[in-house]
């Protein structure tokens, strides 16, 4: 495993296990020892590999959204067996729909496909940390796991600004892993807004 991927894996495991973004709360020495042994397991390596592969696909959807002059965010819903259920990208501007975020578009498509508004045992991949609205929909749909790329310090509801997905006051909590292809996902957004400024 390359150094960058190993670091990514370690950070994500910390986030996943401690359910916190506040690194100061984590006992770093004990954590490092504990998670370095996890890093050697084939299962973890395979999971990280799978997460990255799906995120690459989500990035393609985000780039497609940019071509449509929509804010470039892409999302995919994947079953536990690794089957793609649905894909989505931001469509709010073209559809005049403030709810048409990539995640909601993907959830609607998946729910329609399986004829069930509950989507348990699935993973939602999205290039940017979900907002509060999407986090609410994710909980309603009973999504098991959310993997996102870039963090959203202003609006993120998976721990950055709000922690809706893991709030124990809900009757469903969602496993969250952030920072998968963080730079790549963030660059798509940065390039989009930079181009907008120079138009």
**Residues near Zn ion, by CB under 5 A:** 101, 131, 133-134
Residue nearest Zn ion (C-beta atom): 134
CB of 25 to Zn ion, least distance (A): 27
Nearer to Zn ion, 54 or 148 (CB): 148
CB of 90 to Zn ion, least distance (A): 9
Q: Residues 83, 103, 183, 184: which is the catalytic one?
A: 103
CB of 102 to Zn ion, least distance (A): 8
Nearer to Zn ion, 45 or 92 (CB): 92
Q: Is 103 a catalytic residue?
A: yes
Nearer to Zn ion, 71 or 180 (CB): 71
Dihedral sign computed on CA atoms, order 116, 118, 124, 127: positive
User: What DSSP assignment string belongs to the chain?
Assistant: --HHHHHHHHHHHHHHHH--S-GGGS-HHHHHHHHHHHHTSHHHHHHHHHHHHHHHHHHHHHHHHHHTTS---EEEEEETTS-EEEEEE--HHHHT-TT--HHHHHHHHHHHHHT-S---SEEEEEEE---HHHHHHHHHTT--EEEEEE--TTT-TTTTS--GGG-TTSS---EEE--TTHHHHHHHHHHHHHHHHT-
Burial of 123 (0-12, 13-18, 19+ CB in 10 A): buried
Nearer to Zn ion, 101 or 145 (CB): 101
CB of 6 to Zn ion, least distance (A): 31
Nearer to Zn ion, 131 or 146 (CB): 131
CB of 103 to Zn ion, least distance (A): 6
Active centre residues (catalytic): 103
């Amino acid at each position: 495993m390359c150094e960058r991927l190993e670091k990514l894996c370690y950070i994500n495991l910390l986030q996943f296990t401690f359910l916190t973004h506040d690194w100061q709360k984590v006992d770093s020495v004990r954590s490092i020892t504990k998670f370095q042994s996890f890093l050697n397991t084939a299962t973890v390596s395979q999971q990280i590999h799978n997460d990255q592969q799906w995120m690459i696909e989500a990035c393609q959807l985000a780039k497609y959204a940019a071509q449509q002059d929509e804010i470039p965010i892409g999302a995919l819903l994947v079953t536990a067996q690794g089957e793609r259920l649905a894909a989505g990208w931001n469509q709010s501007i073209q559809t005049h729909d403030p709810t048409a975020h990539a995640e909601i578009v993907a959830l609607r498509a998946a729910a329609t496909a399986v004829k069930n508004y509950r989507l348990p045992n699935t993973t939602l991949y999205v290039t940017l940390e979900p907002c509060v609205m999407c986090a609410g929909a994710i909980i309603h749909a009973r999504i098991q796991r959310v993997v996102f790329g870039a963090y959203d310090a202003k609006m993120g509801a998976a721990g950055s600004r709000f922690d809706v997905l893991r709030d124990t006051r809900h009757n469903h909590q969602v496993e969250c892993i952030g920072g998968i292809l963080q730079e790549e996902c963030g660059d798509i957004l940065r390039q989009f807004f930079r181009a907008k400024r120079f138009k």
